[in-house]
Amino acid sequence: MKQYHDLLQHILNEGTDKGDRTGTGTRSVFGYQMRFNLQEGFPMVTTKKLHLKSIIHELLWFLTGDTNVKYLQDNGVRIWNEWANENGDLGPVYGHQWRNWNNEDIDQIKDIIHTLKNNPNSRRMMVSAWNPSVMPDTSVSFSENVANGKAALPPCHAFFQFYVSDNKLSCQLYQRSADVFLGVPFNIASYALFTMMMAQVCGFEYGDFIHTFGDVHIYSNHMEQVKLQLSREPRALPIMKMNPDIKDIFNFTFDDFTLENYDPYPAIKGAVAI
């Protein structure tokens, strides 16, 4: 994962100090791109231990269209708790927009699969989680926004596009805002896995995952952690094995994934900016 270390180093070298919504403070750059060839291994950061269980359950949760944290909590995943209201609701966030865009019965995932199978040369294979009509009002709390039918947080991984050439499936994500120490390792692994799942169910080989960023930042309270991480030499990437019998994107379950040869350095704790 030289790509990830290069990004950390680029922000340290070239970033400017910038205030942010959470009041934490960041060092930030605007615009950056990384590319991962999914045939070269599974892009899971090795220089700190990642909680793969959270990544897989979060992705399966998005795919069901669920926006309540109960499923995550029942599976030991805590990463969305801070933003949910007392009933566990997050408002119309990712899963809702993917599967039922703007409450209009538009299933963007089903539509993309149909196009991938029938017209893979299409240049219109986009999924958008960005929906201006549910943007939260930042002057009120997360739960007040949810009560008003708004999303607790606007999507960070806002939209993505698929592309097929040489029978290989690639995916490019635009991430408008990125917490490089905590969020980005999750986001890379999640979209890499999603691309591989889509490739399997549509009958393609693995292509590239391309990760494009807007405001990409290191929070000021993650600087020591980032320096420790950069002092570690990246190790060989692990291999992700998926149950080859699954041919419907909505039928994957947690037990269909096995990560082999993941040999990370120890975890590095960091506080999440709320």
Ligand X SMILES: Nc1nc(=O)c2c([nH]1)NC[C@@H]1CN(c3ccc(C(=O)N[C@@H](CCC(=O)O)C(=O)O)cc3)CN21
Q: Which does 79 bind (CB under 5 to 8 A by kind): ligand X, ligand LAUPNLSC, none?
A: ligand X
178, 193, 201, 240: which one binds ligand LAUPNLSC (CB under 6 A) = 178
Least distance to ligand X from the beta carbon of 26, Å?
A: 10
Clarify whether 156 is annotated catalytic: yes
Q: Which residue is nearest to ligand LAUPNLSC (CB)?
A: 183
Q: Is 35 annotated as a binding residue?
A: no
Query: Which CB, 32 or 204, lies closer to ligand LAUPNLSC?
Result: 32
Q: Is 61 in the site for ligand X (CB under 6 A)?
A: no
Closest Cα partner for 83 from 21, 26, 25?
A: 21
Extract the tokens encoding 159.
């939209």
> Distance between CA atoms of 138 and 160, rounded to whole angstroms?
25
Per-residue binding letters, 135-174, with ligand LAUPNLSC (x by CB under 6 A): ------------------xx-xx-----------------
* CB-nearer residue toward ligand X: 186 or 257: 186
Spatial separation of the C-alpha atoms in residues 79 and 77, rounded to whole Å: 6
Spatial CB neighbours of 149, under 8 Å, sequence gap ≥ 6: 91, 92, 134
Considering the complex, state which of residue 51 and residue 168 has its C-beta at the smaller distance from ligand X: 51
Binding residue per annotation — 114? no
* Residue 22 C-beta-side C-alpha neighbours within 13 Å: 17
β-pairing, 126-128 vs 26-37, is unpaired
Q: In a 3-state reduction of DSSP, which class is residue 135?
A: coil
- Does 183 bind ligand X (CB under 6 A)? Our answer is yes
**Interaction partner, residue 54 (ligand LAUPNLSC, ligand X, none; CB < 5-8 Å by kind):** ligand X
Q: Is 176 annotated as a binding residue?
A: yes
HSE of 124, CA atoms in CB hemisphere, 13 A: 7
Residue 182 within binding range of ligand X, rule CB under 6 A: yes
Distances (CA, A) of 235 to 45, 54, 208, 261, 270: 9, 22, 20, 10, 22
Which C-beta is closer to ligand LAUPNLSC: that of 197 or that of 202? Answer: 197
Q: Give the Cβ contact number of residue 39 at 10 Å.
A: 10
* Residue 186: burial class (beta carbons within 10 Å; 0-12, 13-18, 19+): buried
One of 90, 153, 156, 199 is an active-site residue; which one?
156
Instruction: For residue 129, give the H/E element and its range.
Output: none
Q: Which residues bind ligand LAUPNLSC (CB under 6 A)?
A: 21, 153-154, 156-157, 177-179, 183-184, 187
Active site residue ranges: 156
Q: Which residues bind ligand X (CB under 6 A)?
A: 51, 54, 79-80, 153, 179, 182-183, 186, 267, 272-273
Annotated binding site: 21, 51, 123-124, 176-179, 187, 217-219, 273
